[in-house]
């Protein structure tokens, strides 16, 4: 469950950063909300809960590594997949499914990787996310338009003709929606404590 939650958080169109404590804190909130198989009150036992935190951080690291490796493998022109194929590879082995919002996030990662392929990749992705939010002034519709633009540019550069995203692909699936709701609640809580 930690692995699935980590993947869904990193593929969410709602996440604001890929590095740092934010993704970890969101997965913690997911685990607290849905409990899964966690013993009651484990979060009140620092020694035991630190093991959970360690497992979450490891899962996030592994997912980021997988996503970056897919970006590396897909970078050479001869290996480039269209966004549907690349997103399908990203969601493979997760509970997530291909949707327009997830494709747009993967398109952002590809765009950043092609200009910043080194060790700063995830920092550069976080910087691009911050620029998008700043330019949009926090307006969610402007952020959505920015991601649509990134997705359209990706399709122009890497192919668009051999797949079809249906109308129902405009929204995320039920599992991703649950994760997005936790992220939204976490962002609202953070904003109210500032």
pLDDT tens by residue, 111-163: 999 998 889 999 999 999 999 999 999 888 899 899 999 999 998 888 765 55
Per-block average pLDDT, block size 10, for the chain (194 residues)?
A: 92 91 92 78 85 94 96 86 93 91 94 92 96 91 92 86 54 76 69 39
Q: How many residues does the chain have?
A: 194
> How confident is the model at residue 9, as a pLDDT?
94
pTM of the model: 0.85
Contact 21, 29 (CB under 8 A): no
> How confident is the model at residue 193, as a pLDDT?
38
DSSP string, 25-66: HHHHHHHHHH-TTPPTTGGG-HHHHHHHHHHHHHHHHHHHHH
Extract the tokens encoding 83. 């966004």
Which of 74, 81, 69, 79 lies closest to 122 in space, CA to CA?
69
What radius of gyration, in Å, describes the C-alpha atoms of the chain? 17
């Amino acid at each position: 469950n930690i692995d699935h939650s980590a993947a869904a958080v990193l593929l969410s169109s709602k996440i604001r950063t890929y590095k740092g404590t934010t993704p970890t804190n969101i997965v913690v909130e997911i685990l607290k909300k849905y409990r899964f198989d966690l013993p009651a009150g484990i979060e009140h036992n620092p020694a035991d809960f630190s093991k959970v935190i360690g497992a979450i951080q490891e899962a996030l690291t592994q997912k980021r590594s997988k996503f970056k490796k897919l970006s590396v493998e897909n970078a050479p022109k001869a290996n480039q997949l269209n966004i549907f194929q690349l997103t399908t590879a990203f969601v493979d082995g997760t509970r997530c499914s291909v949707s327009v919002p997830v494709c747009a996030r993967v398109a952002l990662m590809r765009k950043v990787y092609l200009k910043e392929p080194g060790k700063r990749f995830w920092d550069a992705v976080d910087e691009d996310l911050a620029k998008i939010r700043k330019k949009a002034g926090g307006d969610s519709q402007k952020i959505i338009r920015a991601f649509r633009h990134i997705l359209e540019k990706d399709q122009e550069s890497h192919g668009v003709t051999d797949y079809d995203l249906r109308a129902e692909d405009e929204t995320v699936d039920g599992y991703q929606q649950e994760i997005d709701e936790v992220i939204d609640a976490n962002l609202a809580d953070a904003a109210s404590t500032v």
